């Protein structure tokens, strides 16, 4: 990938997290789901592995913004879940910079995990499937994805 810029490791002040928690959680949940569905539409995600995601509940928590998004995969699409009624099958938690570094393929999830910058809890095998699935995706140049064009 063309690495014309690098995302530095940073951590937002704790005050932002406490404000973030009080804000409605839906805008970034929708963005995330829209991005995933766009990837689906472009047939970027392998069908064989998608089966394993059916009806699973995922949660992404951004520690330093206090943001949280839950979503599920059902009937060939990702759907936001605004009021999850159970513990997620798989949960990721990290600071914003770590997520951005992951998305830009600047850092490897194992590296972030070893360095304790990325937390993965829940069904480990599901986590591995998701990680390997995203690794195997050949993203078109990133800015074309809705996730990045906001």
Partner 1 sequence: MSSLPDLICPAGSLPALKAAVDNGADAVYLGFKNDTNARNFAGLNFDQKNMTEGIRYAHAKGREVLLAINTFPQAGRVGDWQKAVDAAVDQGVDAIILADVGLLDYARQRHPQQRLHLSVQGSATSYEAINFCQREFGIKRAVLPRVLTLAQVENVIKNTTVEIEVFGFGSLCVMNEGRCWLSSYACGESPNTVGACSPAKYVKWDKQPGAMETRLNGILIDRFGDAEAAGYPTLCKGRFEVQGETYYALEEPTSLNVISILPEIMKIGVRAIKVEGRQRSPAYVTQVTRTLRAALDALAEGSERFHVKPAWQAELAKVSEGSQATLGAYSRPWR
How far, in Å, CA of 9 to CA of 143, rounded?
21
How far, in Å, CA of 62 to CA of 77, rounded?
23
Residue 106's CB is within 10 A of a number of other CB atoms, namely 15
| Of the residues 73, 127, 145, 147, which one makes contact with partner 1 according to CB under 8 A | 127
- CA dist 115 → 67, 93, 112 (Å): 22, 13, 5
Q: Is 129 in the site for partner 1 (CB under 8 A)?
A: yes
Q: Is 81 in the site for partner 1 (CB under 8 A)?
A: no
Q: What binding mask, one character per residue, do residues 41-80 give for partner 1 by CB under 8 A, x or -?
A: -----x--x--x----------------------------
How far, in Å, CA of 56 to CA of 67, rounded?
20
Q: Which is nearer to partner 1, 30 or 148 (CB)?
A: 148
Q: Which is nearer to partner 1, 11 or 108 (CB)?
A: 108
How far, in Å, CA of 15 to CA of 53, rounded?
35
Tokens for 124, please give them. 């480990």
Q: Is 125 in the site for partner 1 (CB under 8 A)?
A: yes
- CA dist 102 → 51, 60, 77, 83 (Å): 24, 13, 23, 26
CB of 97 to partner 1, least distance (A): 14
Q: Is 116 in the site for partner 1 (CB under 8 A)?
A: yes
| Of the residues 18, 21, 121, 149, which one makes contact with partner 1 according to CB under 8 A | 121
CB of 30 to partner 1, least distance (A): 26
Binding site for partner 1 (CB under 8 A): 1, 46, 49, 52, 105-111, 113-116, 119-121, 124-125, 127-133, 135-138
């Amino acid at each position: 990938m063309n690495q014309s810029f690098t995302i530095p490791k940073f951590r937002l002040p704790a005050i932002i997290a406490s404000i973030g928690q009080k804000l409605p959680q839906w805008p970034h949940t929708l963005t995330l789901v829209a991005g995933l569905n766009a990837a689906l539409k472009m047939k970027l995600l392998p069908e064989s592995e998608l089966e394993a995601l059916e009806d699973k509940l995922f949660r992404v928590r951004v520690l330093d913004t206090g943001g949280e998004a839950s979503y599920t995969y059902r009937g060939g699409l990702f759907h936001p879940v605004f009021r999850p009624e159970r513990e997620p099958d798989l949960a990721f938690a990290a600071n914003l910079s770590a997520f951005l570094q992951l998305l830009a393929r600047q850092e490897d999830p194992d590296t972030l995990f070893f360095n304790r910058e990325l937390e993965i809890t829940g069904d480990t095998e599901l986590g591995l499937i998701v990680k390997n699935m995203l690794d195997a995706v050949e993203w078109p140049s990133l800015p074309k994805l809705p996730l990045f064009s906001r």
